[in-house]
């Protein structure tokens, strides 16, 4: 099928993505960090578009914004489509929001075609999919899947606000998280830009995601002594940054060793490194770093953590500083996408005449948490040069529309086939 003949309105879908992109920190496009005023402004727009499409709009106690349209047979449960509207700092226009806009456009396309599903349909904008200032990602989908615990709610951001209070501030209810936990969702589908080059390099339209990496985040703190950078002899220093810098190199070399072994995909990154007091003429007194380790094989993460724990302790000793924290901030195992949903997506792509392949996801997604409570699967669409988490992130209008059409066709098919398939 020519992309211009897709069974939905590509321009309307595109307009939602571009309109949301306008709501950004002007000094740092595209930035709409979760829990900020800009994030809430973005959500106001999303809620307004949900309502205009005829969805009943609510927020659950985990802070997820949900639009809902009842099916002909509500006892069948819910088919949900969604992603997230928050961004990383200086992120792109598509990561997350393309998936939310897809759900919205599917509702409008069904309405325009006069179609009502047997299942109830929900469009979900999950809270804080990107790692938030509280050190936690996928806050909303963790909440919806019963995976947001009290320890996580106690996490604090740098100015001291606990996640618990932030959740309340954006309309959730941390004391009633159980109410967000869902048992009625039969299937969850998420469209996302690929954030890699597989589709573009093979001139393919659609990636049917086979699995999503597991992610562990670890916080390490080194405490030394702040001192005068001119008068403190090198051998008398307790330089926290020396241990942190060593640790950055250790993370890289251990990750390379594990990845090269060939028993699974493995990457690790130190993306946060704070130095205190951070002045050119003061020996660093305290450093905090956060490691993000991802894999398809949890045994590799176990071995990574063991090695880094041991070697970073040795780095602290060499620098004559104390390692005061080595803490797991979060840990999610790799997940396989649901075979029944993957088959429906493949069939839909084939029927629409789109080029497709199966591929694994190295990025984390709300779909991974949703797989804990329902069948869950994803569609990737190509993005230019695989670039993401950067302002240059780009996906073509027709590429996003093609992915959305695949989900629309799959939803129509699943509305029938799920009735025979039974629970996972």
Q: How far lies 110's CA from each of 8, 352, 388, in Å?
A: 9, 17, 31
Do 129 and 141 touch, CB atoms closer than 8 A?
Answer: yes
Report if residue 99 touches ligand GLV, rule: CB under 6 A: no
Report if residue 363 touches ligand GLV, rule: CB under 6 A: yes
Q: Would you say 294 is a known binding-site residue? A: yes
Rounded to whole angstroms, how far apart are CA atoms 132 and 154? 13
Q: Quote the least distance from Cβ 361 to ligand GLV, whole Å.
A: 8
Rounded to whole angstroms, how far apart are CA atoms 216 and 124? 25
Member of 16, 95, 122, 338 binding Mn ion (CB under 5 A): 95
Report if residue 130 touches ligand GLV, rule: CB under 6 A: yes
Q: Which residues contact 197 (CB under 8 A, 6 or more apart)?
A: 385, 386
The binder of 214, among ligand GLV, Mn ion, none, by C-beta within 5 to 8 A per type, is none
- What SS3 class is residue 275? strand
Report if residue 364 touches ligand GLV, rule: CB under 6 A: yes
Q: Quote the least distance from Cβ 135 to Mn ion, whole Å.
A: 16
Report if residue 91 touches ligand GLV, rule: CB under 6 A: no
Rounded to whole angstroms, how far apart are CA atoms 371 and 381? 21
Q: Would you say 281 is a known binding-site residue? A: yes
Report if residue 96 touches Mn ion, rule: CB under 5 A: yes
The binder of 364, among ligand GLV, Mn ion, none, by C-beta within 5 to 8 A per type, is ligand GLV
Q: Would you say 297 is a known binding-site residue? A: no
Report if residue 205 touches ligand GLV, rule: CB under 6 A: no
Could you give the string, one character per residue 47-86, with x where binding to Mn ion holds by CB under 5 A and - elsewhere?
Answer: ----------------------------------------
Q: Quote the least distance from Cβ 88 to ligand GLV, whole Å.
A: 7
Long-range contacts of 309-315 (CB under 8 A, 24+ apart): 311/247, 311/250, 311/254, 312/220, 312/243, 312/246, 312/247, 312/250, 315/242, 315/243, 315/246, 315/247, 315/250
Do 145 and 370 touch, CB atoms closer than 8 A?
Answer: yes
Report if residue 103 touches Mn ion, rule: CB under 5 A: no
Would you list which residues are annotated within the binding site for Zn(2+)?
A: 84, 95, 130, 192, 389
């Amino acid at each position: 099928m020519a992309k211009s003949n897709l069974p939905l309105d590509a321009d309307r879908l595109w307009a939602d993505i571009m309109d949301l992109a306008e709501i950004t920190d002007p000094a740092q496009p595209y930035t709409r960090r979760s829990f900020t005023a800009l994030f809430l402004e973005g959500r106001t727009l999303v809620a307004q578009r949900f309502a205009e499409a005829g969805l009943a709009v609510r927020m659950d106690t985990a802070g997820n914004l949900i639009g809902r349209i009842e099916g002909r047979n509500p006892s069948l449960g819910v088919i949900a489509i969604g992603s997230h509207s928050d961004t990383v700092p200086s992120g792109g226009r598509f990561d997350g929001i393309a998936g939310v806009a897809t759900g919205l456009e599917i509702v409008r396309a069904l309405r325009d075609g006069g179609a009502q599903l047997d299942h109830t349909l929900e469009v979900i904008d999950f809270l804080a999919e990107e790692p938030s200032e509280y050190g936690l990602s996928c806050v909303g989908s963790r909440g919806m899947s019963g995976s947001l615990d009290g320890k996580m709610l106690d996490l604090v951001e740098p100015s001291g606000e606990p996640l618990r209070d932030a959740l309340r501030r954006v309309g959730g209810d941390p004391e009633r998280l159980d109410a967000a936990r869902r048992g009625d969702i039969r299937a969850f589908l998420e469209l996302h830009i690929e954030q890699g080059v597989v589709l573009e390099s093979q001139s393919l339209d659609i990636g049917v995601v086979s699995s999503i990496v597991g992610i562990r985040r670890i916080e390490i703190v080194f405490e030394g002594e702040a001192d005068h950078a001119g008068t403190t002899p090198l051998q008398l220093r307790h330089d926290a940054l020396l241990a942190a810098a060593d640790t950055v190199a250790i993370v890289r070399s251990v990750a390379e060793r594990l990845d090269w072994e060939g028993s699974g995909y493995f990457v690790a990154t130190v993306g946060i490194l704070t130095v205190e007091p951070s002045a050119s003429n003061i020996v660093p007194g305290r450093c905090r770093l956060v490691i993000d380790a991802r894999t398809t094989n949890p045994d590799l993460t176990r071995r990574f953590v063991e090695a880094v724990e041991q070697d970073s302790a040795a780095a602290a000793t060499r620098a004559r500083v104390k390692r005061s924290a080595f803490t797991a901030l979060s840990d999610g195992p790799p997940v396989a996408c649901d075979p029944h949903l993957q088959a429906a997506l493949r069939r839909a792509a084939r029927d629409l005449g789109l080029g497709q392949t199966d591929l694994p996801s190295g990025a984390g997604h709300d779909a991974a948490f949703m797989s804990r409570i329902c069948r869950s699967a994803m569609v990737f669409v190509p993005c230019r040069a695989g670039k993401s988490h950067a302002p240059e992130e780009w996906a073509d209008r027709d590429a996003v529309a093609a992915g959305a059409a695949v989900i629309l066709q799959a939803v129509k098919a699943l509305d029938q086939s799920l009735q025979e398939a039974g629970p996972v």
